[in-house]
């Protein structure tokens, strides 16, 4: 079963615009991670935020975490065509596994 639900399911923007994706989850977590997947290939880790953190930055990525609302958001600033991919949130609830959400498909047009 999927723990997280990403919103929106699909997002289409122009290069240079910002892209925001949201993730909601159901149970308490140790950390939440975001991954990227190009065209059905392997997933690539983007960023990890721990349950006691509220915000984290990495390059053009900004992640926030609100454990009271059981939600997270991923912001990609100044999007590029190369950012076109599916983005997944994944939660660690201490059972030695990550539970992935359903993903957001991002299309960045030149």
Partner 1 sequence: ETGVTQSPTHLIKTRGQQVTLRCSSQSGHNTVSWYQQALGQGPQFIFQYYREEENGRGNFPPRFSGLQFPNYSSELNVNALELDDSALYLCASSFRTGANTGELFFGEGSRLTVL
Binding site for partner 1 (CB under 8 A): 1-2, 4, 30-31, 33, 35, 40-45, 48, 88, 92, 94-103
- For partner 1, which is the closer residue by CB, 44 or 78? 44
Phi, psi of 5 (to 5 degrees): -125, 120
Cis bond before residue 8 (omega within 30° of 0) = yes
- How far apart are CB 106 and partner 1 at their closest, in Å? 15
- How far apart are CB 9 and partner 1 at their closest, in Å? 10
- How far apart are CB 24 and partner 1 at their closest, in Å? 13
- For partner 1, which is the closer residue by CB, 19 or 101? 101
- For partner 1, which is the closer residue by CB, 17 or 36? 36
Q: Check if the beta carbon of residue 7 is closer than 8 Å to that of residue 62.
A: no
Cα–Cα distance between 101 and 72 in angstroms, integer?
Answer: 12
Q: Among 80, 103, 79, which Cα is nearest to 6's? A: 103
């Amino acid at each position: 079963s999927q723990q997280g639900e990403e919103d929106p399911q699909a997002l289409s923007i122009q290069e240079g615009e910002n892209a925001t994706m949201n993730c909601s989850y159901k149970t308490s977590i140790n950390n939440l991670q975001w991954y990227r997947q190009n065209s059905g290939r392997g997933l690539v880790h983007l960023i990890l935020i721990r349950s006691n953190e509220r915000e984290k930055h990495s390059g053009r990525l900004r992640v926030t975490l609100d454990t009271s609302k059981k939600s997270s958001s991923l912001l990609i600033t100044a999007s590029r065509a190369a950012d076109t991919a599916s983005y997944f949130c994944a939660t660690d609830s201490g059972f030695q596994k990550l539970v992935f959400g359903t993903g957001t498909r991002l299309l960045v047009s030149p």
